[in-house]
Chain A
Amino acid sequence: MPRLSADTRHRVSFTLNGATVIGDAEPRMLLTDFLRHTLGRTGTHVGCEHGVCGACTIDVDGAPARACLMLAVQADGSVLRTVEGLEPEPGRLSTLQAAFRRHHALQCGFCTPGILMSLDHFLRHNPDPSENEVRELLSGHLCRCTGYVSIVAAALDAAEKLREGADA
């Protein structure tokens, strides 16, 4: 069994938004820091760093996950998606992102990347959610600007557009 020693950096490689990325990390390095500092992908935000605020939520192997509750070395070999992977093509917002813009579902934008990643996964598995279901999902995120009303409205609107056949 390979032992990754504490004081050495080790090769970590995974698929990020469809492309293979490689970097070096000590075992103790959090995935958030690896994404932001090693790979320079600063779309994933770091809030509380202990799993409460949800700002760093990303998609790991098809399920939502807090990047701050993972080590970079744990992600080795996984398939990750972050907020940078949401836009269908450069310069065009996804249906969900566009709904956020229309409904003013963000003010300072700090919590937004995590919320988008949670909702992106959620809407693909729950195409016709109730407001309560959306609110329960959002209980895993903290937003201090909006009061959540506009986020819920954006999520429900995006769900409707996606049901009508809008592309992701």
Chain B
Amino acid sequence: MKPAPFDYLRATTRAEVHEALDAEGGDAAVMAGGQTLIPLLSMRMARPTVLIDIMHVGELGGISVSDGAIRVGASVRQAALLDWPELATHQPLLAITMPWIGHAQTRSRGTVCGSAALADPSAEIPLTMVTLGGEIELSSSKGTRRVAAEDFFTGLMSTAREDDELIEAVHIPCSAAGTGHAFHEFARRHGDFAIVACAAVADTQGTRLGVGGLGDRAYACDVGTLEGSALDDALTEFANSLDARDDLSASAGYRRTLMRKLGRQTIEEARRCRA
């Protein structure tokens, strides 16, 4: 398994990245940590003619908090966000979810924005962003725009990013006081792709459940204050609305059953954690 040939550009400024994207368009691939992209290259599922390495662009680093959201720059590695001392204070859901991303040996290089860019349907970052209502900041030589996570992830490994755009940062809302969070994931071994992953956020108004591993992307639904059999019915309806597929790891039916059980467990735990 060896990648097909490509040119390699090591960008050092945003302008260089934008310029390269303008020139190369859809033939280029932006590479940050490379933890998903390099296997795709090796398996030749991705065949860009140019690779733009953005990890030496100083302007793209940094974690900051403004307007009630955590902004994570394009070159911030998952391990760096996980080690950020304020993470659990600002967004506990991220703090409990991120240890489930791959392994320590891949989080050390993989980036937060890269996970959003690849849009794997069972990945934790897209799931967290859809559950919390995060935004993706895209930039090009023409300017910047922000897209809601639910609109950004458009299907299996596909997003609303245009060919000339760079994912500049992701914005993840900070947790409001009195909010409860929970996350549960089922996989063959810790760090493998989730067969089903559930994230929930609960406040006094209601509870929102996000689900990964069923269907072509992460989905979320509001279950309000439903309890008991009404909650079971809502979860069954949600599970049936998702286009789960059979694969080597699990059948569609198994995934739905798992989602209903794990979803309920996650919702109840989030409600219990509510201050």
Question: Contact residues of A with B, CB < 8 Å?
Answer: 1-7, 26-28, 30, 33, 49-51, 54, 57, 60, 63-66, 68-71, 73-74, 118, 122, 136-137, 139-140
Contact = CB atoms under 8 A, between A and B. Distances in A.
Given A1-B20, A6-B6, A74 B34 contact: yes
Contact of B108 (A1, A6, A63, A136): A63
B98 interface: no
Q: Which size bracket describes the interface of B in this complex?
A: 35 or more
B2 A28 contact: yes
B160 interface: no
Given A50-B42, A50-B43, A69-B35, A7 B106 contact: no
Per DSSP, are chain A's interface residues mostly helix, strand or loop, or mixed?
mixed
Contact of A1 (B4, B9, B189, B190): B9
Nearest to A58: B105
Given A54-B105, A69-B34, A140-B191, A28 B5 contact: yes
B122 to A, nearest CB: 15
Contacts of B4: 28
A12 to B, nearest CB: 11
Given A69-B34, A71-B38, A7 B5 contact: yes
Contact of A65 (B1, B42, B105): B105
Given A1-B12, A139-B190, A140-B103, A51 B35 contact: yes
Contacts, number: 102
Contacts of B49: 6
Per DSSP, are chain B's interface residues mostly helix, strand or loop, or mixed?
loop
A50 B193 CA distance: 13
Interface of B: 1-12, 16, 20, 34-35, 38-39, 41-43, 49, 51, 53, 55, 79, 102-106, 108-109, 189-191
6 contacts: A50-B43, A54-B103, A65-B109, A66-B106, A136-B104, A140-B104
B16 A1 contact: yes
Contacts of B105: 54, 57, 64-66, 118, 140
A3 B79 CA distance: 29
A159 B222 CA distance: 47
A68 B2 CA distance: 10
Contacts of B190: 136, 139
Contacts of B12: 1
